[in-house]
Amino acid sequence: MTADLPRTMRSDARDNRGRILDAARTVFGEAGLSAPMREVARHADVGPATLYRHFPTKQVLVAETFAEQRRACQAAVRDALADPDAWHGFRSLIERICELHAHSRGFADAFMTAFPEAMDFTADRERTLRAVGELARRAQESGRLRSDFVIDDLVLMLMAHRGLQDTPRAARITASRRFASYVIEAFRAAPGTETPDGDAHPTARVRRCQ
């Protein structure tokens, strides 16, 4: 019996940790990083002592909670940079960033420096901005990205995108996709000549037929 006790405790600890992370994804995802730790503990049905035993600080909890989103963001950057079509890579990166932010207010907060103590997110943000800068340079050279695009335009776009967080989750995802499509069209060197999926815009087809 005594030999089984540590194993049982470790299993309980794993269960508690999993419940805390699930609760944090829900609480931070909907309320943002301003949500208190006690709300995470309440949602996970554990005491504050248990919460802080697993996650001594809010920064540690945030980093663990959004580890999957961080990996997805890093993968989006890698894929975009590896795309031989710079404009396609640029578009894809914007679409994937918007999608990640739309799914979780907490991740958007951490990425956009509302939680500056989370240094991992600072590194992710800087990596993403460098990738966008490189893609922008290549896409501008190809003539498909407007020549006056600057990185601050992406930051402005993400700030505007955060306004969608006040909408219900289901509507937020749909709205985020439309938002990304409109923004990409605005960044295009010749807006209105193509739809975001690469097809000719209906009005452009009409003009060509006239």
Residue pLDDT, tens place only, 5-47: 445 447 787 889 999 999 999 999 888 888 999 999 999 999 9
DSSP class of 201? P
Q: Would you tell me how many other CB atoms lie within 10 Å of the CB of residue 10? A: 10
Residue 207 clears pLDDT 90, i.e. is over it: no
Q: pLDDT tens digits, residue range 122-150?
A: 888 888 888 899 999 999 999 999 999 99
What CATH architecture does domain 67-193 belong to? Orthogonal Bundle (1.10)
For 194, phi then psi, to 5°, come to -145, 155
Q: pLDDT tens digits, residue range 55-72?
A: 999 989 998 999 999 899
Higher pLDDT, 80 or 10: 80
4-65 and 67-193, same CATH topology: yes
Which residues face 200 on adjacent strands? 194
Q: What is the rounded CA–CA span in Å between residue 154 and residue 136?
A: 11
What is the per-residue pLDDT for 117? 59
Residue 171 clears pLDDT 50, i.e. is over it: yes
What pTM did the predictor assign? 0.75
Q: Would you tell me how many other CB atoms lie within 10 Å of the CB of residue 51? A: 23
Residue 204 clears pLDDT 80, i.e. is over it: no
Q: Would you tell me how many other CB atoms lie within 10 Å of the CB of residue 16? A: 18
Least confident of 32-41, 106-115, 146-155: 106-115
What is the per-residue pLDDT for 110? 84
pLDDT band at 2 (very low <50, low <70, confident <90, very high): very low
Residue spans of the domains in the chain: they are 4-65, 67-193
What CATH architecture does domain 4-65 belong to? Orthogonal Bundle (1.10)
